[in-house]
Each structure stands twice: as C-alpha cells, then as structure tokens.
Structure 1
Amino acid sequence: MTINILTKDDLDKFKNELIQELSNMFHIKTTEQKLWLRTSEVKDLLNISSGTLQNLRANRILSCSKVGGILYYNYKDIEKLLSDRKSS
C-alpha cells in the first residue's frame, strides 16, 4: 500500500489549475450565450416560476420585447438584474 502525501504546493498548484479551467469554461459559456431568450429559457436560467417572471415584468424590474406573441428577454438585462441584486 502506497501512501501519497500532498504538500501545500501541490494543493496550490491544483487550485490554480482548477481556477484556470473554470475560467475557461465560463468564458466559453458567455461567448456562446444567445442575446435574446424566450420565457422558458429565462425561467430555467433564473430558476423561477412563471408568476415570478410575470411579477418582474409587471414591476418593470425586467423588460421584454414581444414579437409575434412570443416574449423575448435581453440576456444583458438579466445579467444586470443579477448583478444589481448581488450588490444590494
């Protein structure tokens, strides 16, 4: 039975590699993100119900555009909503 000992340097190296890989994954996700999202995509993204999304629209917290009976939400508006909520 072999015993492996991890040093602080090993853990630091692993942490840096993990952070770099997560950063790369995040970068790929944001560059592939669609600019306009449908209602179902917004609900999934924010993990909210239809009623909550309707309240966000009614209270003018999140704006949308209606095209041919379908509501579309700008992804940048959703990012702004999340960053505003995070800072308060």
Structure 2
Amino acid sequence: MNLDLVTKSDLLELKSDLIEEIKRIIPLQTAAPDEYLKSSEVRKLMKISAGTLLHLRVSGKLPFTKIGRIVYFSREDIRRILGKGTPDDAVVKRLFRGEANEECK
C-alpha cells in the first residue's frame, strides 16, 4: 500500500491555487449585471405573474438565456416590450395576441 503525506505547505499551495482559479471564474459569471435581469426582477418590472412570464418565454415572445437553472432576460428586450408610456397590463395582453411584436422590432 502506497501512502502519500500531505503537508501544511501543500495545503497552503492548494488554497492559493484555488483562490486564483476562483478569481478567474467569477468575473466571467458576474459580467454586466445591469444588462440582464432574473425572472423575479422581470416579473416585478412588468407586474406579471410567474405563469405569465413562463408563457411569454415558452411561446418565444420574450427572448431569454438560461445558465444552469437561472433564466436571464435582456434589459433591452424588456424595455422594447414595455415601451414608453404604455401601461404594463396592456402590453402583456397585446403580447399574448401577438400585436406587440411589430412595436418591439
């Protein structure tokens, strides 16, 4: 049986290597947090339920990006859908009927 000993200096070296690797990974995951919104933020902004947001996502009327289990929506897509001065409820109703697509382009 072959035994390997791990010394305190080995553990410290591993720790510093792990910290450096995490520092390289984290900026990639947190890049541009203002450009993308999570589902809960979109629901609050549009004043819609989780089911309505799911319907908009599944029907392709609201583009999204999924990373792992988290769904992200582009802030610009949300702005385009909501438009200026348009009541949120009216926009959502038109989205279901497909009328808002021309306004969003």
When normalised by structure 1's length, the TM-score is 0.55
Deviation of the 1:52 alpha carbon: 0.3
Q: Structure 1: which 5+ residue stretches go unaligned?
A: 1-32
- Describe the superposition over 1:26-78 as per-residue Cα deviations: whole angstroms up to 9, x where unpaired: xxxxxxx9110000000001010000001111111101100121000000001
Q: Secondary structure at the match of 1:72?
A: strand
Work out the percentage of aligned pairs sharing the same amino acid: 36
**Structure 2 unaligned spans of 5+:** 1-32, 92-99
- Give TM-score scaled by structure 2 length: 0.47
Instruction: Please name the residue that 2:70 is paired with.
Output: 70
Within 2, Cα distance between the matches of 1:72 and 1:35?
A: 10
Q: Following superposition, which runs of at least 4 residues in structure 1 exceed 6 angstroms of deviation?
A: none
Which is higher, the Rg of structure 1 or of structure 2?
Answer: 2
Cα distance between partner residues in 2 of 1:68 and 1:54: 17
